């Protein structure tokens, strides 16, 4: 089972508390189905439980059982075969059937409580949410441009603003922000799924943090080694040219310590001197050694 199907399954188990919300969900289910108009009202779905919810929506609106056809691909197609039933459904939802384009009628999403129910219906019909293990993405595949535009406007007062794009002629209304996806899941009533989503996000954040820390440590080790190699080169040059003895006792001690301990950081070198020195003090002395070595080679 995918995360998307888990969410849909959870949503289909919700019992609608009031008629107004049941109507809003039914509207979302029908409006965003495969077709919604006087010539065709139908839904194509992968899931039996969504098919059942769609049938229940039609029953709720016109007290009739829709025809159910199982297509060859294994998907379920539910369609309202009778033209009079289709007209009844359209009329029930405030359409005359002669509209050239069926805009969203907010009269079917009457109260604040109905918003989530409407989004739930829409999601059951045309929504997909990607597993948060992979990426943060929730989308509604809307058949027509004007429908996707209307749908985006529905979110105006909601703390999530969708983006729109066109994929092979299908209008996509989508969300990429994890918090916005959490808000959508919450308002639809997917309480279990939203917790799963948040858990996965926390797990991902912690893992990223650890990875960043490890990468950072590796980078620091690399830097330490590179610097140590430069110091050793300079010190060996001084020894070979016979000028090592010209160094002051403090510089000599540090040079020997550096040669013997290439893995030590500057602070560690400083701590191991007879008279302990700060990191910047060590840095200063090493620079001096390298300057003297530099003059030697000229
Ligand atoms: Zn309501």
Question: In this structure, what CATH number is given to the domain that contains residue 46?
Answer: 3.10.28.10
Final residue belonging to a domain, choices 163, 189, 215: 189
Does 199 fall in a domain?
Answer: no
Write down the residue that tokens 């013997």 correspond to: 260
Residue of higher predicted confidence among 178 and 295: 178
Q: Is residue 242 part of a domain?
A: yes
Two tokens, residue 252: 């000599």
Mean pLDDT of 108-134: 95
On whether both 154 and 264 belong to a single domain, the answer is no
State in Å: Cα 43 to ligand 1 middle: 23
Residues 135, 245: Cα–Cα separation, whole Å:
63
Lowest mean pLDDT among 120-124, 173-177, 260-264: 260-264
Q: From ligand 1's centre to the CA of 86, what distance in Å?
A: 24
* Rounded distance from Cα 112 to ligand 1 centre (Å): 7
Residue 59 shares a structural domain with residue 105: yes
Query: Comparing 63-72, 190-199, 224-233, which segment has the lowest mean pLDDT?
Result: 63-72
d(CA 97, CA 203): 50
Total domains in the fold of the chain: 2
Q: What is the pLDDT of residue 75?
A: 86
Q: What is the Å distance from ligand 1's center to 68 Cα?
A: 28
- Give mean pLDDT, residues 116-141: 96
16 CA distance to ligand 1 middle (Å) = 9
pLDDT digits (tens, 9 = 90+) for 50-99: 999 999 999 999 998 887 777 767 788 999 999 999 999 999 999 998 88
**Whether residue 212 sits in one domain with residue 174:** no
Considering the domain architecture, whether residues 147 and 83 belong to the same structural domain is answered as yes
Residue 230 alpha carbon to ligand 1 centre in Å? 73
Report CA(107)–ligand 1 centroid distance (Å).
11
Task: Summarize pLDDT for 140-182 with one digit per residue, the tens.
Answer: 999 888 899 999 999 988 887 899 998 888 899 999 999 999 9
Angstrom distance (rounded) from CA 29 to CA 58: 9
Distance 46 CA to ligand 1 centre (A): 28
Distance 93 CA to ligand 1 centre (A): 15
d(CA 37, CA 34): 10
pLDDT band at 298 (very low <50, low <70, confident <90, very high): low
Q: Indicate the residue among 158, 189, 220 that finishes a domain.
A: 189
Do 116 and 14 fall into the same domain?
yes
Q: How confident is the model at residue 12 (pLDDT cuts 50, 70, 90)?
A: very high
For residues 141 and 286, membership in a common domain is answered with no
**Pairwise CA distance, residues 244 & 289, whole Å:** 9
Q: Kindly state whether residue 200 falls inside one of the protein's structural domains.
A: no
Does 196 map to a domain? no
Check whether 211 has a pLDDT greater than 90: no
C-alpha 28 – ligand 1 centre gap (Å): 13
How far, CA to CA in Å, does 135 sit from each of 1, 3, 184, 194?
Answer: 17, 12, 16, 15
Q: Flag whether 198 is in a domain.
A: no
pLDDT at residue 296 is higher than 70 = no
User: Do 47 and 138 lie in a common domain?
Assistant: yes
CA 9 to ligand 1 center in whole angstroms:
21
Of 41-50, 109-118, 169-178, 204-213, where does mean pLDDT reach its minimum? Answer: 204-213
Same domain, 90 and 38: yes
Query: Is the model's pTM score more than 0.75?
Result: no
Domain ranges, residue 37: 3-189
pLDDT at 136: 95
Whole-number Å distance, alpha carbon 131 to ligand 1 midpoint, is 29
Q: How far does residue 24's CA lie from ligand 1's centre (Å)?
A: 7
Query: How much is the average pLDDT of 100-114?
Result: 91
Residue 166 Cα to chain centre, angstroms? 20
Asked whether residue 30 falls in the same domain as residue 164, the answer is yes
| Distance in Å, CA 256 to ligand 1 centroid | 80
Domain boundary among 189, 215, 231: 189
Reference 120, options 213, 23, 245; nearest CA is: 23
């Amino acid at each position: 089972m995918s995360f998307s199907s888990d969410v849909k399954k959870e949503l289909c188990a919700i019992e609608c508390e009031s008629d107004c919300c049941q109507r809003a969900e039914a509207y979302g289910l029908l409006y965003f189905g495969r077709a919604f108009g006087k010539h065709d009202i139908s839904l194509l779905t992968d899931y039996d439980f969504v098919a059942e919810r769609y049938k229940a929506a039609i029953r709720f609106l016109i007290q009739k059982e829709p025809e159910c056809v199982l297509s060859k691909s294994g998907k379920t197609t539910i369609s309202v075969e009778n033209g009079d039933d289709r007209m009844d459904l359209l009329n029930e939802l405030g359409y005359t059937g002669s509209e050239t384009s069926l805009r969203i009628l907010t009269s079917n999403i009457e109260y604040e409580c109905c918003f989530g129910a409407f989004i739930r219906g829409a999601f059951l019909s045309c929504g997909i949410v990607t597993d948060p293990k992979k990426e943060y993405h929730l989308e509604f595949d809307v058949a027509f441009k004007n429908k996707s535009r209307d749908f985006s406007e529905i979110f105006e007062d909601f703390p999530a603003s969708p983006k729109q794009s066109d994929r092979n002629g299908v209008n996509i209304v989508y969300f990429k922000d994890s918090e916005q996806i959490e808000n959508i899941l919450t308002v639809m009533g997917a309480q279990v799924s939203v917790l799963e989503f948040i858990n996965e996000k926390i797990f991902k954040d912690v893992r990223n943090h650890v990875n960043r820390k490890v990468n950072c440590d590796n980078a620091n080790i690399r830097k330490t080694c590179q610097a140590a190699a430069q110091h050793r080169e300079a010190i060996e040059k001084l020894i070979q040219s016979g000028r090592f003895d010209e160094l002051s006792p403090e510089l000599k001690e540090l040079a020997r310590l550096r040669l013997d301990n290439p893995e030590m950081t500057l602070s560690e070198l400083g701590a191991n001197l007879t008279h302990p020195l700060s990191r910047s003090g060590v840095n200063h002395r090493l620079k001096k050694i390298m300057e003297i070595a530099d003059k030697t080679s000229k």
